[in-house]
């Protein structure tokens, strides 16, 4: 299988993750004009599963290092398989809440608050799985991100106060999703041998096998979670599977593309975790908050009706995010 050899390559993979995780939600925004997010989400999940299989049978099955995908999956211990499956279930519950928040509050709010919170708590949780990196820089970076989250919430509150719209539901969904999102990564990380991808411990999985099992957990849990949402959505009228199967090819393709984009980021992030450590790898990947906020503010113009002074809060938010991510990168040197 393909294995990263040095820290700089690991950082590059994490930066790719950051752009993938911060950009996939554009597909949800594109689909939202004609396609309910509950229906979009099924195609998104299929995209994640498809990429996990592509990754497993390509990068996960070539080269001399480690175990190939099928050999690795066959020897995996049941407890590690269950851990990766649980990671998929936790992620799916969290991500559904975040996607719902996007549909209500927009990318420039749901991501900085929800995924920013996931970064903040997740960095702490994942650091204690494998204590790699300078702890002072890691936690300082997380604190700077926390400031950015608060600034974004204030900016969103100002905008909604000026327009007379309620702001609580989008923020509450983003917070709930972010807290759950903080914990999914650790379940995948503990199912792998992060210390040695070349000769993984017996029963442990490589990143490629862990990603595949994780995606199966997402798919299985979606049968329950998304079926409930289709019948009892957070907003709007209930929809149906009849509406899903009656959707246009282009609508399905956009959702699958979103899942493929997120899947690329997820695979690259876990491949990088062996060299960078889970705290840094996860933290940099969740720098997606910055990317998504840029999309929301400058492309989708989600703050175009905000009152005077809001732009200053947004500029400060971006600055603190950049400083926090810089600290996380430096923490591994």
The rounded mean pLDDT for the chain is: 89
Pick the more confident residue, 96 or 149: 96
The confidence band for 162, taking pLDDT boundaries of 50, 70 and 90, is low
Domain count, the chain: 1
Residue 107: predicted pLDDT: 75
Structure confidence by residue, pLDDT tens digits, 267-276 = 999 999 989 8
Quote the CA–CA distance of 215 and 49 in Å, as a whole number: 5
The predicted model gives 216-243 an average pLDDT of 94
Residue 127: predicted pLDDT: 85
The pair of three-digit structure tokens given for residue 82, joined into one six-digit string: 């269950």
Residue 15: predicted pLDDT: 92
Is 191 inside any structural domain?
yes
Pick the more confident residue, 177 or 329: 177
Is 2 inside any structural domain?
no
Structure confidence by residue, pLDDT tens digits, 52-110 = 999 999 999 998 888 999 999 999 999 999 999 999 999 999 999 988 888 887 777 78
Is 1 inside any structural domain?
no
Residue 333: predicted pLDDT: 65
Quote the CA–CA distance of 126 and 277 in Å, as a whole number: 9
The confidence band for 309, taking pLDDT boundaries of 50, 70 and 90, is confident
| Among 166-170, 173-177, 234-238, the least confident range | 166-170
The predicted model gives 17-27 an average pLDDT of 92
Dihedral over alpha carbons 291, 293, 298, 300 (to 10 degrees) = 110
Pick the more confident residue, 306 or 225: 225
Provide the domain limits for residue 77.
Answer: 7-331
Residue 166: predicted pLDDT: 47
The confidence band for 33, taking pLDDT boundaries of 50, 70 and 90, is confident
**DSSP string covering 90-124:** HHHHHHHHHHHHHHHH-HHHHIIIIIHHHHHHHHH
Residue 39: predicted pLDDT: 95
Per-residue pLDDT for 332 more than 50?
Answer: yes
Residue 19: predicted pLDDT: 94
Question: CA-CA distances (angstroms) from residue 67 to 61, 138, 199, 296?
Answer: 8, 32, 8, 41
> What ranges in the chain are assigned the alpha helix state H?
7-23, 25-31, 37-57, 69-75, 78-105, 107-110, 116-127, 135-163, 168-189, 207-231, 241-245, 249-276, 278-285, 288-294, 310-331
Structure confidence by residue, pLDDT tens digits, 233-263 = 988 899 999 999 999 999 999 999 999 999 9
Per-residue pLDDT for 167 more than 60?
Answer: no
Residue 230: predicted pLDDT: 95
Per-residue pLDDT for 226 more than 70?
Answer: yes
């Amino acid at each position: 299988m393909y294995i990263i050899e040095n820290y700089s390559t690991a950082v590059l993979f994490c930066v790719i993750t950051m752009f993938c995780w911060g950009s996939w939600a554009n597909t949800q925004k594109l689909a939202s004009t004609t396609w309910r997010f509950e229906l979009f989400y099924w195609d998104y999940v299929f995209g994640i599963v498809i990429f996990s299989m592509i990754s497993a049978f390509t990068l996960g099955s070539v080269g001399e290092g480690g175990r190939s995908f099928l050999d690795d999956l066959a020897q995996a211990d049941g407890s590690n398989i269950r851990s990766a499956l649980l990671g998929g279930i936790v992620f799916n519950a969290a991500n559904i809440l975040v996607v719902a928040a996007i549909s209500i509050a927009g990318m420039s709010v749901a991501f900085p608050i929800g995924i920013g919170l996931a970064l903040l708590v997740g960095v702490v949780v994942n650091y204690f799985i494998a204590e790699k990196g300078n702890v002072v820089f890691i936690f300082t970076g997380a604190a700077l991100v926390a400031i950015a989250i608060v600034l974004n919430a204030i900016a969103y509150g100002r905008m909604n106060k000026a327009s007379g719209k309620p702001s609580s539901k989008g923020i509450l969904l983003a917070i709930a999703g972010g807290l759950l999102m903080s914990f999914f990564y650790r379940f995948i990380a503990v199912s792998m041998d992060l210390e040695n991808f070349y000769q993984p411990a017996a029963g442990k999985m490589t990143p490629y096998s862990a990603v595949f099992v994780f995606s199966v957990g997402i798919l299985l849990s979606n049968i329950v979670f998304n079926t409930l949402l289709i019948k009892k959505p957070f907003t709007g009228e209930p929809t149906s599977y009849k509406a899903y199967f009656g959707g246009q090819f282009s609508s399905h393709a956009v959702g699958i593309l979103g899942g493929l984009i997120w899947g690329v980021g997820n695979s690259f992030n876990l491949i990088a975790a062996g060299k960078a450590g889970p705290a840094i790898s996860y933290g940099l990947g969740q720098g997606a908050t910055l990317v998504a906020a840029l999309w929301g503010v400058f492309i989708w113009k989600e703050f175009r009706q905000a009152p005077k002074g809001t732009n200053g809060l947004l500029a400060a938010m971006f600055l603190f995010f950049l400083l926090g991510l810089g600290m996380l990168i430096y923490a591994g040197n």
